Amino acid sequence: MTVTVATEYPHPEGLYATSQGSFQETPSGDVLVGWGAIPRWSRMSDTGELLSDSGWDDDLVVTSYRFQQREWTGDPLEGPSAVATQDGDSVVVHASWNGATEVDAWRLRDGDVEVTTGRTGFETRIEWQSGAPEGDGGDPDGEPRPSQALVQALGSAGEVLGTTTVTLP
């Protein structure tokens, strides 16, 4: 009987786990390698190129029998947060929702004026010019801006996932 190596996934640093360890092929074709007795894990392309490499501090005595990637949806117990600051003639609102994975965009409402901005990571910056959100009009009569605005986290279909208010400077 003969065995032939189809593909190898060696770590560039020459890591070698003496026990445990795991291997998972992902739908994208990448592979995840858990280095078991060594508290590290790596993502590699289907050709063995190292794409990412992570682990715990070497001072920790940690081993991992199995490292796996799973789908996860974050649904925080707390609602979204927003803060506003003055930046020259603009008001800048920063909106975030720690742990919420389904947020696709943020909508800011100030009276009849509304602006929607796509999420840009952990914290999304929304800039207002001349006392009203950019893009969707503004008050042509120059009426003063209200003291608070409504901030809504939106899902991919535009549905409201969570709401908070922000005090405007």
Q: Are residues 112 and 149 in the same domain?
A: yes
Last residue of a domain, one of 70, 93, 116: 70
pLDDT of the residue at 134: 43
Last residue of a domain, one of 14, 46, 70: 70
pLDDT of the residue at 143: 57
Q: Are residues 87 and 162 in the same domain?
A: yes
**pLDDT tens, 31-63?**
999 998 888 999 999 889 999 999 888 777 777
Domain span including residue 110: 81-167
Residues 6+ positions from 5 with CB-CB distance below 8 Å:
none
CA end-to-end distance (rounded Å), the chain:
77
Q: Are 51 and 25 in contact (CB under 8 A)?
A: no
pTM over cut 0.75: no
Q: Are residues 6 and 65 in the same domain?
A: yes
Six-digit token string for 89: 């003639």
**pLDDT tens, 62-98?**
777 888 888 889 999 999 999 999 888 788 899 999 9
Is 76 a domain residue?
A: no
Q: Are 53 and 136 in contact (CB under 8 A)?
A: no
Q: Are residues 163 and 87 in the same domain?
A: yes
Q: Provide mean pLDDT across the span 148-156.
A: 94
* Domains in the chain, number: 2
Q: Are 106 and 119 in contact (CB under 8 A)?
A: yes
Residue 147: CATH number of its domain = 2.60.40.10
Q: Are residues 109 and 148 in the same domain?
A: yes
Q: Give the SS3 label for residue 134.
A: coil
Six-digit token string for 48: 């063995």
Is 75 a domain residue?
A: no
